[in-house]
Homo-oligomer: A and B are copies of this chain.
């Protein structure tokens, strides 16, 4: 399949100026970017971008996709009651079937919002794998591992066994769209021995690691008390976990020492501003993290604590939030932000050739409607993206050269059927 996008305006970060360019896609890659007028007959599809913005698609670097089933199910509660009274009992009822529809619903929402790839940590990840392979998106999925026994043996750990089986079965599937990571839920839900063998397995098999770290003040303080003065990052580092390429979600209470470790080990920090606000966790010190040389990507977290899966919304929230809480409008500027929602997310998944508009890169692109009334006027497309665009402006989503969404229509999802099946599942399990 050869697709020509003509009259495309690119974000200035892409280095092609503000004049419209032609962009050719052959199979899954970008094969031309420039001013030359190409021969339209040579393409299977020619799309006139009409000077709309073409930019790298969004990457969602932290999610629990199947939790879309619990969107709005337990609201405005303190974390502990939210978990104990609402989420844990609901999760008891989860099955392959419900997780499949929950994940597919999440994917439909993400595609509509211009997201082509997500990092997922949950249960029933076989269901997530099926949903990813079917719908044409990408994901780094993981079986979330927790351990409450002090000296669990590797051979006896059923969750770890599931994670291993998942990696064997799915890692690299769908022409590498699907990858399997290892995941340790958090410091407060794991023990030393388990952390060690999970990290060893990841290292042996070249897999990446997903973690939750320093999400709440209580987590941070309890860790310091429990682990002899170690922070969650310090704890994981001490067990060799961070010797595996890692993305650490939240990092709200990271210390300067944590940041030094993260920089040294190349750990990605995943910023989930809406979830951190909504659960009352706090605000990650974004500028401090960036200044420490740590690469930051954006995540939505699960729909149970957000309740949207919209990286553009997170990008825009982050663009203003840090100015406000620091009382300084220059602390975060628009030009710093697009990478967090695109390229950095791809890198946090180990996808070196994704999340950028470059010759030879994977064609993960979205088109943003710059004629939408909320984007008029636009003096600078990066500014429009960070402060005035919204999800209704995403008019095309392309993943690995395949158009998944265009002008409100899905190409890989029967949305009516998905809505019907999802509601059936929800009615049966959670009402």
Contacts and interface: CB of A to CB of B under 8 A. Distances in A.
B333 A371 contact: no
State which size class the interface on A falls in. 35 or more
Contact of A373 (B72, B112, B373, B387): B112
Nearest to A275: B320
A371 B422 CA distance: 12
B330 A72 contact: no
A213 interface: no
A373 B430 CA distance: 18
* Most B C-beta atoms less than 10 A away, residue of A72, A82, A320, A384: A72
Contacts of A217: 327
A359 interface: no
Contacts of A109: 373-374
A325 interface: yes
Nearest to A393: B392
A331 B76 CA distance: 8
A329 interface: yes
Interface string A91-135: 000000000000001001100110000000000000000000000
Interface in A274-302: 274, 276-283
Nearest to A335: B76
Nearest to A333: B76
B423 A324 contact: no
27 contacts: A72-B379, A72-B383, A72-B388, A76-B333, A78-B330, A112-B374, A217-B327, A277-B320, A277-B323, A277-B325, A278-B319, A278-B323, A278-B329, A280-B323, A280-B324, A280-B331, A281-B324, A282-B327, A283-B324, A303-B388, A308-B374, A308-B390, A309-B374, A325-B325, A373-B415, A373-B419, A390-B390
Contacts of A373: 105, 108-109, 112, 415, 418-419
Contacts of A38: none
Given A75-B334, A390-B390, 18 more contacts: A68-B377, A75-B380, A76-B333, A77-B329, A78-B330, A82-B329, A217-B327, A277-B321, A280-B324, A280-B330, A280-B331, A306-B387, A307-B384, A307-B387, A308-B374, A308-B387, A325-B325, A373-B415
Given A72-B384, A329-B76, A329-B278, A423 B377 contact: yes
Nearest to A324: B277
A253 B223 CA distance: 36
Nearest to A317: B317
Contacts of A380: 72, 75
A251 to B, nearest CB: 15
B330 A378 contact: no
A71 interface: yes
B306 A75 contact: no
A75 B387 contact: yes
A425 to B, nearest CB: 9
Given A105-B376, A308-B374, A423-B377, A323 B279 contact: yes
A384 B68 CA distance: 13
A41 interface: no
Interface string A397-426: 000000000000000000100110011001
A214 B68 CA distance: 40
A170 interface: no
A327 B78 contact: no
A198 to B, nearest CB: 31
A427 to B, nearest CB: 9
A308 B388 contact: yes
Given A371-B419, A373-B415, A282 B324 contact: yes
Interface string A73-97: 1011111001000000000000000
A187 interface: no
A371 B78 CA distance: 29
* Most B C-beta atoms less than 10 A away, residue of A75, A323, A378: A75
